[in-house]
């Protein structure tokens, strides 16, 4: 993606932005001119390196902030540095996510609390914490959902339930925060394989089930986020599937 200035003067907060999809989204928004807050949980080294690369391109345009999104009382410590640094917040990307198997019959309350907390509860309460600033800026929330919010993934019951809830939260927030704040979602398909790994046969099976017969990339998701942030002022309450037709 080429550098542009469509988001010049705007400020974006991207959760889970130190690595993988979050880093790709943060990079796309930064290249479009936004100042970016890179939230991280434990990936301090990666977050600091990403922020350093952003600031080397445009000084004082990025900041790394650590926060445990499951600890709701700490959420203001994520928002406050944004306002202290730039005095505004235009874009919130709820990207941080926890993903691991939970087969029915062995699900624990701790797993439920962790997966629901990260994938559903945190986006709700962070949106609530950011709402005043977003209203002032006539801003935008982007929730990173998953095609498995509509098509449950075997042995990932709680994760699928959490992402289904996030899809409905996206539509509910779009109603609640209108007309001042737009709220949309992105549901990626096979664009980045789980870090835990998948065997080659299963990867091939998943790709074969996409209409385009190929996997995507983090940049495909980042382009969708940039579209919502820069080129879609009349779009709210929508969930864009970036899945190569996997959800057809």
pLDDT in tens, 131-179: 999 999 999 999 999 988 888 888 899 999 999 999 999 999 999 999 9
- Distance separating the N- and C-terminal Cα atoms of the chain: 28
Distance CA 239, CA 226 (A): 14
Q: Which residues, other chains included, contact 155 with Cβ-Cβ below 8 Å and sequence gap of 6+?
A: 101, 102, 103
User: Is 100 labeled as catalytic in the residue annotation?
Assistant: no
The rounded distance, in Å, linking the Cα atoms of 81 and 37 is 9
Report the alpha-carbon distance of residue 50 to residue 245 in Å, rounded. Answer: 31
Taking the whole predicted model, whether its pTM rises above 0.85 is answered as yes
| Percent of all residues in the chain with a pLDDT value above 70, rounded to a whole number | 97
Asked if the model's pLDDT at residue 197 lies above 70, the reply is no
**Residues 154, 158, 162, 164, Cα dihedral to 10°:** 40
Provide the residue ranges of all domains of the chain, joining segments of one domain with +. 11-242
Percent of the chain with pLDDT over 90: 83
Fold held by 11-242 = Rossmann fold (3.40.50)
């Amino acid at each position: 993606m080429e550098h542009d200035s469509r988001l010049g003067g705007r400020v974006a907060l991207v959760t889970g932005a130190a690595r993988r999809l979050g880093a790709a989204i943060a990079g796309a928004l930064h290249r479009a001119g936004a100042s970016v807050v890179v939230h991280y949980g434990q990936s301090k080294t990666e977050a600091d390196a990403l922020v350093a690369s952003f600031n080397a391109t445009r000084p004082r345009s990025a900041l790394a902030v650590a926060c445990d999104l499951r600890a709701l009382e700490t959420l203001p410590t994520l928002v406050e540095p944004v306002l202290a640094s730039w005095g505004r917040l235009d874009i919130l990307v709820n990207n941080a996510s926890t993903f691991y198997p939970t087969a029915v019959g062995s699900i624990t309350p701790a797993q439920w609390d962790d997966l629901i907390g990260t994938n559903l509860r945190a986006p709700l309460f962070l949106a609530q914490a950011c709402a005043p600033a977003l209203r002032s800026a006539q801003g935008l929330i982007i929730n990173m959902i998953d095609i498995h919010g509509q098509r449950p993934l075997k042995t990932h019951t709680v994760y699928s339930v959490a992402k289904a809830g996030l899809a409905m939260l996206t539509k509910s927030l779009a109603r609640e925060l209108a007309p001042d704040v737009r709220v949309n979602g992105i549901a990626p398909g096979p664009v980045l394989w789980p870090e835990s790994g998948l065997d080659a046969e299963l990867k091939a099976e998943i790709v074969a089930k996409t209409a385009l017969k190929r996997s995507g990339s983090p940049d495909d998701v980042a382009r969708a986020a940039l579209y919502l942030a820069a080129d879609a002022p009349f779009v709210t309450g929508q969930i864009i599937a970036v899945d190569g037709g996997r959800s057809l």
